[in-house]
Structure 1
Amino acid sequence: MDNKYKKEKRVTTIITNTVCGKKTQLCQNTINLDVDDIVLPTQILGSAIRNSHIEDSKIVDISNDFMLVNVTGEFEVHVWYEENDNTNVVKTYEQFSQDISIPVIEGVDYYSKKILPKLSRKPVSLGAMIINKCGCPTISIEVEYEIKIEITGEARLNVLCYLDEKECKCDNKKLDFCFDDDDDDHDD
């Protein structure tokens, strides 16, 4: 079977954006909140974590097997506690920093890629307790959140294009794409 596109072949490069790597990681941090030296909390009544956001992300290290990305952010912590039959609230802004290891494809230049981090699960309190830290009453909270990272960048695809004989002679060259499964192109 004769194919009209077998007359002249050219390779065309298509540039497109693609996801080069991604990872979702569950993170847990313990936060210690100092309270007044005069106030001695007796019971934790509740806690809330609000206004969480990611501030920055950067590549820390690249090896043959993985890329280490550091993600930093902040959230607001509110804790209600009881002391001598009174209810008090302690509020603070806490920073977080997580190093996340992402598998890499060998030979790819990751410095030109774009890092897209997001909190796929907002921070929540797993529990709070009163501890004695160096003789001072401190409220300790266990926080859990999930970070999702995607690494995007340009990918170059080489596509074999066949030109029609009439189009090859013309000054106005138009590319006509054809994906041919015939093995006639291989030299034996």
Structure 2
Amino acid sequence: MSFLDQEYREIITKAVIGKGRKFTQDTNTITPSHKPTSILGCWVINHLYNAKIKADDVVEVNGSYDVNVWYSYNDNTKTEVVTERVIYCDHIKLSVKDDHTLGDELEVFAKVIQQPNCLECKIASHDSKIMVEVEREFLVEVIGETKVTVKVDPNGTVVDDDDWDFELNDDEFEDVDPDFLAEFEEE
């Protein structure tokens, strides 16, 4: 009995063949132009990133974001905002990986679960630098071609659109407001 006699078919399709997730906390050192007295605020903006396959089971996410720190100096008599660009590289190991793929063309999708966010911002105790603790989290998926085997139903039916009944019944006509358009013409 051959493969086709058993009523199975092979379908070649694109599917998720790998997934990974990584949570990262970094401490970034910001150098202000004045010796800070106190921290008044901190925020992270302008997050950019891209992802690519680095090895068989690792996706590399390269990105950057701007850290803005509003601080006071000169014994809390003046304020300033310092902005520094932070560049990072995260290596995300695939926790789920299917090695049964066809071909070498793989696509990588990276989704931010947690945008870079300031957890803590403080003045370093030993010098006039500012320490900013930032968190971020990514989910990555690798898409590739794979083969799926399906069983064919020998008694399956083919449904034609003409077989569907799209006629309205009397109950549906009761809900129709005949003056609906007239209300808009009066306004």
Q: Same fold (TM over 0.5)?
A: yes
Flag the 1:15–1:109 CA change in 2: closer, same or farther, 3 A: closer
1:164-185 CA-to-partner distances (Å, cap 9, x unmatched) read xxxxxxxxxxxxx5389xxxxx
Moved more, 98-107 or 123-132: 98-107
The match for 1:156 is 147
Partner amino acid, structure 2, of 1:26: F
Contact 1:53–1:119 (8 Å) recurs in 2: no
- 1:90 and 2:90 are equivalent in the alignment: no
In structure 1, distance between residues paired with 2:103 and 2:113: 23
Structure 2: unaligned runs, 5 residues or longer: 157-187
- 1:81 and 2:71 are equivalent in the alignment: yes
**Matched residue of 1:113: which SS?**
strand
Q: Cα distance, 1:151 vs. partner?
A: 1.1
Q: Cα distance, 1:122 vs. partner?
A: 0.9
- 1:101 and 2:114 are equivalent in the alignment: no
The match for 1:120 is 113
Q: Cα distance, 1:99 vs. partner?
A: 0.6
Structure 1: unaligned runs, 5 residues or longer: 1-6, 162-176, 181-188
Q: Cα distance, 1:53 vs. partner?
A: 2.2
For the aligned residues, what is the CA RMSD? 2.6
The match for 1:184 is none
> For 2:18, which of 16, 21, 35 is the aligned residue?
21
Contact 2:21–2:94 (8 Å) recurs in 1: no
Count of matched residue pairs = 150
Contact 1:31–1:141 (8 Å) recurs in 2: yes
Q: Cα distance, 1:73 vs. partner?
A: 0.9
Flag the 1:8–1:128 CA change in 2: closer, same or farther, 3 A: closer
Flag the 1:95–1:110 CA change in 2: closer, same or farther, 3 A: farther
Q: Cα distance, 1:25 vs. partner?
A: 1.5
Partner amino acid, structure 2, of 1:91: T
Partner amino acid, structure 2, of 1:23: G
- The structure that is strand-richer by fraction is 1
Contact 2:100–2:146 (8 Å) recurs in 1: no
Query: Which residues of 2 match residues 62-73 of structure 1 at below 5 A?
Result: 62=56, 67-73=57-63
In structure 2, distance between residues paired with 1:17 and 1:81: 51
- The structure that is helix-richer by fraction is 2
Q: Cα distance, 1:107 vs. partner?
A: 4.9
**Matched residue of 2:94: which SS?**
strand
In structure 1, distance between residues paired with 2:62 and 2:73: 34
